[in-house]
């Protein structure tokens, strides 16, 4: 029985009517290949069927080339911009091919224990005969080829001179049979049939070092490395996922039984594809398990293609990946929704970009200042200095706008079809579909965001020092006197407790009933709203330039002095990294212990809060630009209130 290899992606970025940008190939039967668009990996769509010349048992994709291995030939397809094959060739061999791989302009083909290094036209450049049968091969780099010798371990071949390939070393596998060898940047993961995995450090390819043996509870037959996840399948249909971010201590995160009829698995863009006789099942991969997303029916799925992609150049954390100029100051936090970035500029522009910084659309209003907030059906809400609330759809078309009695300088809060917002005329408003339902006079104007509770109350602070709790119908439920202007945004934890600061330099923790729990005297105006993360920290900034970290009981953990006023609310990543801006133009990143990780300079003030996404931190500056900075992160922290307004779309309902 043929056991199968991994999926492959072709990155083809063309401006075409079909807009096929990312595709994969799989076998629906031994001689029928299907090309499928996976631009949306949770909803793959068939593009083309291709009838192959004979039965296939391995597919490899690199660039826009598909290599298909048959018993004694390799078929090459060139995929055009609309998914069609525009060129086709086949190379016949006089021997039975056991394995092959492609890297750049070199092709490695094996027969029994012999390796042939070939050029793109399959002309033999060099040959190496070994004493051991070759199961499969993978290029580690342009210079080295990793070889799986099965019961005879793993080896490294130097192919820097393709006319004279040479074996560098071979490691035994403790009498185990190796079924798969997976190379990464500095390590090899050798997966054995018994379920044993041994990790070989090859940072110096000439001097390998086995750094760890680990064991799975079941036999293994296939492995796939996706970022820091090693996904291993067993003959019984069980999938095990290991965290290999520390290769010295791989950790088994979970195992899931998929069924005995599983024919293949793969991971692409964080999704696991599970192939069965009746189609494929799609799951979202996470640290704590798999979330079922979709089922794609098919006649059958027998074999996913495997990929060969060149490793990206390593970019150090803190590197600016791109910037986009809005030609006007940016003083509010960007928002992320469905892979798109939304932000507002002071001169009235609402902008939408994709995560690569490409412009999608803009809407022109007047004097926008608040952070965008997303509501139902992708509607985007922004407040303005011209007294209006603007609501646009996800394509940038105006849905409605409503004029209030004063400037709107704080974010709106959306609950289903109702909008709650404060204005500098001293009122709190409730609006539905552009119509004012009620308004409540306050003793001062709103100076904070609004915390929305699932049990029917909303909480906010004012310039008079009063913190209000108001029902959904506008009735005041309670008030709390903070003794000074509430100068920071608010945060809430999973128990409903509320955290905020004042111009008097006091950070308060109060209950959802308005009773004080504790307070901390920072000795300086609190100008940057607190965040509450999964690490048990309450973190805020001061006008004098300090970041202060407390525990949940109000005890000081550490401080960091940035030396310039902080009005940017911090944001925390899953790894505990902290990001915030300063008025002297920097975005800072701190480690979990409060030490400096990196900082990035701009030509203006960074007064708006950043937002954290996968491998990126986005923020705006008064120099008129939105920036994307590279970071090694899986995204925003899972804590109760890890950033401005609670989450990346600036809309959070507190439920407990």
Lowest mean pLDDT among 5-9, 215-219, 267-271, 527-531: 5-9
pLDDT recorded at residue 42: 80
Contact residues for 505 (Cβ-Cβ < 8 A; gap 6+): 521, 522, 523, 524, 525, 526, 542
- What percent of the chain is modeled with pLDDT above 90? 51
Lowest mean pLDDT among 344-348, 427-431, 506-510: 344-348
339: left (phi over 0), alpha (psi -120 to 50) or beta: left
HSE on the CB side for 640, CA within 13 Å?
Answer: 21
pLDDT recorded at residue 652: 55
Quick one: pLDDT band at residue 654, thresholds 50, 70, 90? Answer: low
Lowest mean pLDDT among 22-36, 50-64, 375-389: 22-36
Which tokens in the block code for residue 28?
């629906």
**Three-class DSSP category at 378:** helix
CA pair distance 141, 118, nearest whole angstrom: 16
pLDDT recorded at residue 122: 92
pLDDT recorded at residue 81: 61
Greatest CA separation found in the chain? 90
Quick one: pLDDT band at residue 135, thresholds 50, 70, 90? Answer: very high
Does 190 have pLDDT greater than 70? Answer: yes
CB 243, CB 253: distance < 8 Å: yes
Within a 10 A sphere around the Cβ of 286, how many other Cβ atoms?
A: 14
User: What does DSSP assign to residue 610?
Assistant: P
The CA distances from residue 468 to 290, 453, 462, 487, 637, in Å, are 42, 13, 8, 14, 28
CATH class of the domain comprising 10-307: mainly beta
Q: Could you read off the pLDDT of 529-561 as tens digits, one per residue?
A: 899 999 889 999 999 999 999 999 999 999 999
Does 440 have pLDDT greater than 90? Answer: yes
CB 246, CB 235: distance < 8 Å: no
Lowest mean pLDDT among 2-6, 39-43, 322-326, 423-427: 2-6
pLDDT recorded at residue 275: 84
Closest by CA position to 89, among listed 67, 116, 64: 67
pLDDT recorded at residue 83: 62
- Cα 484 → chain centroid: 40
pLDDT recorded at residue 23: 65
Does 577 have pLDDT greater than 70? Answer: yes
pLDDT recorded at residue 383: 86
pLDDT recorded at residue 100: 94
**Three-class DSSP category at 196:** strand
Lowest mean pLDDT among 4-13, 262-271, 366-375, 610-619: 4-13
pLDDT recorded at residue 368: 63
- Cα 498 → chain centroid: 29
Lowest mean pLDDT among 41-45, 282-286, 315-319, 501-505: 41-45
CB 38, CB 55: distance < 8 Å: no
**What would the mean pLDDT of 230-252 be, rounded to a whole number?**
90
Q: Between the ranges 106-115, 227-236, 381-390, where is the mean pLDDT highest?
A: 106-115
CB 61, CB 305: distance < 8 Å: yes
Closest by CA position to 569, among listed 526, 540, 533: 540
pLDDT recorded at residue 309: 43
Q: Between the ranges 202-216, 277-291, 466-480, where is the mean pLDDT highest?
A: 466-480
User: What does DSSP assign to residue 150?
Assistant: G
Does 579 have pLDDT greater than 80? Answer: yes
CA pair distance 200, 215, nearest whole angstrom: 15
Work out the mean pLDDT of the chain and round it to a whole number: 86
Burial class (CB in 10 A: 0-12, 13-18, 19+), 435: exposed
HSE on the CB side for 26, CA within 13 Å?
Answer: 32
Residue 446 host element (H or E):
none
CB 379, CB 649: distance < 8 Å: no
pLDDT higher at 389 or 648: 389
Quick one: pLDDT band at residue 653, thresholds 50, 70, 90? Answer: low
Within a 10 A sphere around the Cβ of 41, how many other Cβ atoms?
A: 20
Exposure string for 535-566, b = 16+ CB within 10 A, e = fewer? bebbbbbbbbbbbbbbebeeeeeeebebebbb
Lowest mean pLDDT among 237-251, 433-447, 535-549, 642-656: 642-656
pLDDT higher at 43 or 209: 209
Q: Which segments of 511-583 are extended strands (E)? A: 516-521, 526-532, 537-542, 546-551, 556-561, 571-572, 578-581
Which tokens in the block code for residue 414?
């959306």
Which tokens in the block code for residue 582?
């300063």
pLDDT recorded at residue 649: 58
Say what the alpha-carbon torsion angle 623, 625, 631, 637 is, to the nearest 10 degrees: 90
Does 513 have pLDDT greater than 50? Answer: yes
Does 2 have pLDDT greater than 80? Answer: no
* All structural domains of the chain with their residue ranges: 10-307, 320-654
Topology match between the domains 10-307 and 320-654: yes
Q: Could you read off the pLDDT of 586-600 as tens digits, one per residue?
A: 999 999 899 999 999
Within a 10 A sphere around the Cβ of 75, how many other Cβ atoms?
A: 20
Helix, strand, coil percent values for the chain (each to nearest 5): 0, 50, 50
Does 165 have pLDDT greater than 90? Answer: yes
pTM passes above 0.75: no
List residues bridging with 402 in a β-sheet: 389
Within a 10 A sphere around the Cβ of 5, how many other Cβ atoms?
A: 22
Quick one: pLDDT band at residue 86, thresholds 50, 70, 90? Answer: low
Lowest mean pLDDT among 113-127, 215-229, 456-470: 215-229
CA pair distance 641, 198, nearest whole angstrom: 40
pLDDT higher at 530 or 53: 530
pLDDT higher at 20 or 354: 354
Which tokens in the block code for residue 386?
């011209």
Which tokens in the block code for residue 394?
């996800």
Please identify which residue in the block is written with the tokens 């039984």: 257
Superfamily of domain 320-654: YVTN repeat-like/Quinoprotein amine dehydrogenase (2.130.10.10)
Quick one: pLDDT band at residue 200, thresholds 50, 70, 90? Answer: very high
Closest by CA position to 379, among listed 354, 414, 332: 414
Does 4 have pLDDT greater than 50? Answer: no
- What percent of the chain is modeled with pLDDT above 70? 90
**What would the mean pLDDT of 297-320 be, rounded to a whole number?**
65
CA pair distance 458, 469, nearest whole angstrom: 6
CB 184, CB 242: distance < 8 Å: no
pLDDT recorded at residue 616: 92
**Three-class DSSP category at 51:** strand
Closest by CA position to 554, among listed 594, 588, 520: 520
pLDDT higher at 562 or 282: 562
Residue 431 host element (H or E):
strand 427-432
pLDDT higher at 157 or 31: 157
CB 4, CB 222: distance < 8 Å: yes
Decide the pairing of beta strands 58-62 and 306-307.
parallel
């Amino acid at each position: 029985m043929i056991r199968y290899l991994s999926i492959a992606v072709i990155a083809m970025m063309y401006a075409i009517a079909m807009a096929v940008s990312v595709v994969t190939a799989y076998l629906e039967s031994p001689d029928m290949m299907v090309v499928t668009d996976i631009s949306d990996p949770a909803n793959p769509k068939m593009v083309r069927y291709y009838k192959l010349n004979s039965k296939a048992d391995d597919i490899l994709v690199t660039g826009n080339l598909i290599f298909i291995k048959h018993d004694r030939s390799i078929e090459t397809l060139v995929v055009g911009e609309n998914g069609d094959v525009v060129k086709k060739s086949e190379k016949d061999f006089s021997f039975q091919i056991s394995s092959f791989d492609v890297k750049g302009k070199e092709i490695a083909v094996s027969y029994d224990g012999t390796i042939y290094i070939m050029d793109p036209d399959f002309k033999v450049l060099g040959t190496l005969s070994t004493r051991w049968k070759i199961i499969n091969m993978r290029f580690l780099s342009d210079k080295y080829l990793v070889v799986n010798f099965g019961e005879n371990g793993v080896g490294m071949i130097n192919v820097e001179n393709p006319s004279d390939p040479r074996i560098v070393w071979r490691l035994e596998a403790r009498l185990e049979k190796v079924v798969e060898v997976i190379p990464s940047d500095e390590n090899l993961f050798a997966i054995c049939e018994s379920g044993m995995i041994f990790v070989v450090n090859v940072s110096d390819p000439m001097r390998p070092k086995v750094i760890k043996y680990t064991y799975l509870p079941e036999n293994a037959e296939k492995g796939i490395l996706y970022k820091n996840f090693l996904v291993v399948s067993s003959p019984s249909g069980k999938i095990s996922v290991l965290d290999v971010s520390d290769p010295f201590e791989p950790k088994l995160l979970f195992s899931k039984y998929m069924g005995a009829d599983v024919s293949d698995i793969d991971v692409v863009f964080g999704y696991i594809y599970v192939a069965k006789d009746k189609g494929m099942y799609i799951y979202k991969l996470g640290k704590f398990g798999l979330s079922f997303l979709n089922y794609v029916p098919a006649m059958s799925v027998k074999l996913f293609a495997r990929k060969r992609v060149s490793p990206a150049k390593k970019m150090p954390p803190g590197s600016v990946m791109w910037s986009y100029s809005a030609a006007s100051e940016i003083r509010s936090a960007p928002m992320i929704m469905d892979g798109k970035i939304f932000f507002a500029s002071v001169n009235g522009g609402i902008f939408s970009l994709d995560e690569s910084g490409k412009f999608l659309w803009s809407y022109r209003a007047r004097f926008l200042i608040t952070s965008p907030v997303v509501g139902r059906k992708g509607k985007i809400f922004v407040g303005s200095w011209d007294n209006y609330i603007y609501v646009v759809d996800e394509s940038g078309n105006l849905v409605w706008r409503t004029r209030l009695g004063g400037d709107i300088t704080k974010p709106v809060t959306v609950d289903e079809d109702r909008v709650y917002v404060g204005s500098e005329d001293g009122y709190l408003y409730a609006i539905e579909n552009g119509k004012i339902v009620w308004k409540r006079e306050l003793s001062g104007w709103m100076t904070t965001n609004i915390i929305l509770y699932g049990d029917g109350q909303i909480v906010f602070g004012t310039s008079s020092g009063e913190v209000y709790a108001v029902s959904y119908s506008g009735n005041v439920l309670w008030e709390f006197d903070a003794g000074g202007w509430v100068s920071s945004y608010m945060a809430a934890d999973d128990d409903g407790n509320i955290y905020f600061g004042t111009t008097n330099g006091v950070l308060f923790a109060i209950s959802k009933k308005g009773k004080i729990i504790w307070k901390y005297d920072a000795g300086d105006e609190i100008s940057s709203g607190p965040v509450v993360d999964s690490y048990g920290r309450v973190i805020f900034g001061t006008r004098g330039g300090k970041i202060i970290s407390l525990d949940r009981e109000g005890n000081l953990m550490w401080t960091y002095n940035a030396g310039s006023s902080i009005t940017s609310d911090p944001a925390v990543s899953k790894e505990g990294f902290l990001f915030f801006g300063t008025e002297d133009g920097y975005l800072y990143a701190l480690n979990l212990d409060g030490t400096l990780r990196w900082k990035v300079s701009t030509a203006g003030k960074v007064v708006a809060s950043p937002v954290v996404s996968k491998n990126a931190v986005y923020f705006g500056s008064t120099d008129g630009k939105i920036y994307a900075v590279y970071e090694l992160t899986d995204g925003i922290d899972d804590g109760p209130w890890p950033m401005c307004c609670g989450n990346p779309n600036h809309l959070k309902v507190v439920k407990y």
